[in-house]
Structure 1
Amino acid sequence: IVFGNPAGMSFLDRAQVTAGGTYLNVNTDIKNAEYTPTLPGTGGSTSEGDMVPGTLIPFAFYAHPVNDQLAFGFGVYAPFGSKTEYEDSFAGRTFGTRTEVTVMSAQPTVSYRFNEQWAVGAGVSYNRVDGKLYRNAPAAPGVELDSRVEGDDEAWGYNLGVIYQPIPETTLGLTYRSKVSYTLEGDFRATAPDGSIASRPVDTPMGTVQVPLQDKASLDLTTPETVNFSITQQMSDNLKLMAGASWARWSRFDKILVEGENLGEITNEPQNYSNAWAFAVGGEYQLNPQLALRAGVTIDNTPTNDIDRSVRIPSDDRRIFSIGAGWSPTDDLTLDLAYSYLTERGTRIEQGGPTDPRGQFGADYKNEAHGFGAQLTYRF
């Protein structure tokens, strides 16, 4: 509730704390990989596909009703993240070997219930982002540099929520989460095969000098604002149905542009994301006072496009199928377990060209993921 729609906190009758996590196991099938180097002897030859390591995503939330109208809450969670890491001999390593973006948020929240029908909520989020961009940069025939950019930043955002219950059995929710703008600042370095800092020749009035490929670097990144609508319908004492729609303004993510303090443009990779919709339906059946069963389906449309899709984020439209259960051995304690299967539409990636110093890479990708979630809730 703290994350999804803070207005809902004022409908809770007791304080409660929830902690848990989701473990993601991602599998990628890469076929028909082809790499044509611009500089002979550069680029790799394999496409094993184990590009996303298993990842645990933790979270914790607390909600505290003060009275029948007012409630406070706090949450720590990861709203955005992306991670790809290829083997050293990956065929497309000149376009990317490792891409990692992690956002962690801490959010104090308040909600107020006006009457039996209406409630509002608001939260302020402190967000910290860490990013890594690695690739092998061709420098000469048979020579590749290990190019790495790392940076971090912190910024503030907010979210707003409204809940309307026209009748006790029907709940409508609307949530807005703001964009968050970051300027990741850190370091860039390119090392030669012997581990030394590489350099490049630069013409100056005093002649040609070798400039080390090491610099302070920065990257502007904006995570999108989102709007979420949900409806929950209590069909009977035991059955509850839910549906939702979410819109994200991903069009703010137009490129990955890394600029050096002295070296100028280091990386410029077009992304040209478009705004995207996701739709979900689900249900919960209270089998007995202790056990609730759940299931759901989500259609998550990709913001990427066929022209600019890259080895860094090789994703396409997703379908997610989920099942779960909640077990309450006492009125104060609930253990929730969930399993989700995510499958993406197969997609083709084409990058570079005959005149691109990185070479030319193409491959067919098919991604799927298994998510295992668990959380423990205690009510005071």
Structure 2
Amino acid sequence: MKQLVRSLKVIGAGSLMLGSASVMASGYHFGTQSASNQGVANSGAAEVMDASTIFYNPAGLSRLEGAQVSGVLNVIMPDGEYTNIKSTTATGKTITGGNGGNFGVTTAVPHMYGSYQINDKMTVGVGLFVPFGSHTDYENDWVGRYQTLESEIKTINLNPSISYKVNDTVALGAGLSAQYIEGTLSKALDLGAAANSALSGNKAYDGKSEVKGDDIGYGYNFGALFTISDATRVGLAYRSKIRHTLEGDLKFTVPAALQPTAIGRSLKNTSAKLNVETPESFSINGFHQFTPEWAMTADYTWTGHSRFDEIRIQATGRTDTVTVTNWRDTNRYSVGAIYTPNASWVFRAGLAYDQSPESNEAERIASIPDSDRIWYALGARYNINKNNSIDLAAIYVQLKDSTINRKPLDASEKAAGTINGNYSVDSITLGMQYNHRF
């Protein structure tokens, strides 16, 4: 198992070192795994555009001839702003500090896919992609520093898959996943309040805690693709939850003035762990060719985000630290249009509504300040020749402006005080993809 973890780290080094921004898709989903499907706002699974069908629906492998490979690069450029209303320390004192700056982090992430047709009935493939990722990074003196400074989740998933064409109407597919995850959580500590209530919120007496850990977990996915007619297809796909226990270290930074005190001596570095279940998802999607030039795609995806009900850090020799989240399950709806004017070009456009798992201001968390969002997508494919093509895509994601009024929801959160303010978040995502057929 440790050797597999090392291998995934090496294979996915580009994505693991960069992380990803949470403003692409709801919760901590990365949001897009191919530039081709990105062009129709992720509504094109039933079209089966290329080998990236491994992620969206493994049954789609049955439509790919010969051997094919696709390499993808996504670049996410988020813009996240917080405006303070009235945030307070645990003692009720108004916190001094800034708004945190642009807490989004520009990120570049690659994905890779390959497929091989064994015979008319069976096709195999393998994908290496980033299914989940979130990265927020606030300035050190921001008013919400006692709840979060930096929060980062990084994953990479190795997904071998197989499809079987039952007949001209039905194709089935399945895959296994080995998913590596790495997480970092840091926040400031109001040690001034612990030493003397009059010093509460004094940045000179702020400490810091940082926990890091990683793990590898296993899951599965399966799908079915139904060819209703030459012009119409419908797909079903399911991707399982994956259980992780991130194990690592909890480290403290204590200001020099407090190091000799009982407070300073009590904050010793130790081992820590965090249990995470990445959510399962279920999708229904369709494709219809109206004319030789025009086609339409559609997708509905349900995600079990309610599994993320708390962030519980278990550190050796210390009481558990708990951040209550109470996320809800979510729905996502997307549609797309495809225009093919000639053999060289394909143009795409898409629109999606993506529901947030955070339903109210009292449970919103500053580490992943989420809200309902709309995707506006454009894309194009240029067929260089019969064996080579390039996809380009762009998505603008607009999150609904939201408010946070986060008070302690667990006894261990009391020292973090409250955050009360407004969020404004959006992002632009660019995608580029090269496809080759042998």
Structure 1-normalised TM-score?
0.93
Q: Which runs of 5+ in 2 are unaligned?
A: 1-52, 193-198
Query: How far does the alpha carbon of each residue in 1:185-241 deviate from its partner, in whole angstroms, 9 at most, with x for none?
Result: 10001111249979856xxxxxxx943431110111001110011000011111110
What is residue 6 of structure 2 aligned with on the other side? Answer: none
Relative to structure 1, is the Cα distance of residues 195 and 147 closer, same or farther in structure 2, using a 3 angstrom cutoff? Answer: farther
Secondary structure of 2:266's counterpart equals: strand
Say if 2:84 and 2:99, in contact at 8 Å, map to a contact too. no
Matched, 1:258 2:313: yes
What is residue 127 of structure 1 aligned with on the other side? Answer: 179
Deviates more, 1:188-197 or 1:357-366: 188-197
State the one-letter code of the partner of 2:240. S
CA distance in 1, matches of 2:179, 2:104: 24
Deviates more, 1:130-139 or 1:39-48: 39-48
CA distance in 1, matches of 2:174, 2:400: 36
Secondary structure of 2:158's counterpart equals: strand
Say if 1:298 and 1:319, in contact at 8 Å, map to a contact too. yes
Say if 1:197 and 1:214, in contact at 8 Å, map to a contact too. no
- Given the alignment, which residue of 47, 52, 76 partners 2:128? 76
Matched, 1:215 2:267: no
Secondary structure of 2:368's counterpart equals: coil
Say if 2:73 and 2:432, in contact at 8 Å, map to a contact too. yes
Query: How far does the alpha carbon of each residue in 1:333-380 deviate from its partner, in whole angstroms, 9 at most, with x for none?
Result: 110000000001111011236x93222221100110000000000000
Secondary structure of 1:57's counterpart equals: strand
Say if 1:188 and 1:216, in contact at 8 Å, map to a contact too. yes
- 1:321 deviation in Å? 0.5
Deviates more, 1:30-39 or 1:169-178: 30-39
What is residue 367 of structure 1 aligned with on the other side? Answer: 425
Structure 2-normalised TM-score?
0.81
Say if 2:259 and 2:265, in contact at 8 Å, map to a contact too. no
CA distance in 2, matches of 1:199, 1:214: 16
Question: Which structure features the higher share of strand residues?
Answer: 1
CA distance in 2, matches of 1:94, 1:13: 55
- 1:43 deviation in Å? 4.8
Relative to structure 1, is the Cα distance of residues 42 and 158 closer, same or farther in structure 2, using a 3 angstrom cutoff? Answer: same
Say if 2:84 and 2:143, in contact at 8 Å, map to a contact too. no
CA distance in 1, matches of 2:300, 2:417: 41
What is residue 205 of structure 1 aligned with on the other side? Answer: none
Matched, 1:184 2:273: no
Matched, 1:238 2:293: yes
Matched, 1:276 2:334: no
CA distance in 1, matches of 2:262, 2:351: 53
Say if 2:154 and 2:182, in contact at 8 Å, map to a contact too. yes
Matched, 1:310 2:365: yes
CA distance in 2, matches of 1:251, 1:39: 32
- 1:139 deviation in Å? 1.1
Relative to structure 1, is the Cα distance of residues 181 and 200 closer, same or farther in structure 2, using a 3 angstrom cutoff? Answer: farther
State the one-letter code of the partner of 1:363. G
- 1:32 deviation in Å? 3.7
What is residue 10 of structure 2 aligned with on the other side? Answer: none
Secondary structure of 1:308's counterpart equals: coil
Question: Which structure features the higher share of helix residues?
Answer: 2
Deviates more, 1:224-233 or 1:306-315: 306-315
Relative to structure 1, is the Cα distance of residues 195 and 251 closer, same or farther in structure 2, using a 3 angstrom cutoff? Answer: farther
Matched, 1:149 2:217: no
What is residue 222 of structure 2 aligned with on the other side? Answer: 160
What is residue 103 of structure 1 aligned with on the other side? Answer: 155
State the one-letter code of the partner of 1:246. T
Say if 1:185 and 1:217, in contact at 8 Å, map to a contact too. yes
Say if 1:44 and 1:93, in contact at 8 Å, map to a contact too. no
State the one-letter code of the partner of 1:281. V
Relative to structure 1, is the Cα distance of residues 168 and 358 closer, same or farther in structure 2, using a 3 angstrom cutoff? Answer: same
- 1:48 deviation in Å? 4.6
CA distance in 1, matches of 2:417, 2:220: 43
CA distance in 2, matches of 1:128, 1:286: 39
Say if 1:169 and 1:234, in contact at 8 Å, map to a contact too. yes
State the Cα RMSD in Å.
2.0
CA distance in 2, matches of 1:176, 1:211: 47
- 1:145 deviation in Å? 1.0
What is residue 105 of structure 2 aligned with on the other side? Answer: 53
What is residue 343 of structure 1 aligned with on the other side? Answer: 398
Count of aligned residue pairs for this structure pair: 371
What is residue 248 of structure 1 aligned with on the other side? Answer: 303
Secondary structure of 2:66's counterpart equals: coil
CA distance in 2, matches of 1:23, 1:122: 29
CA distance in 2, matches of 1:127, 1:104: 6
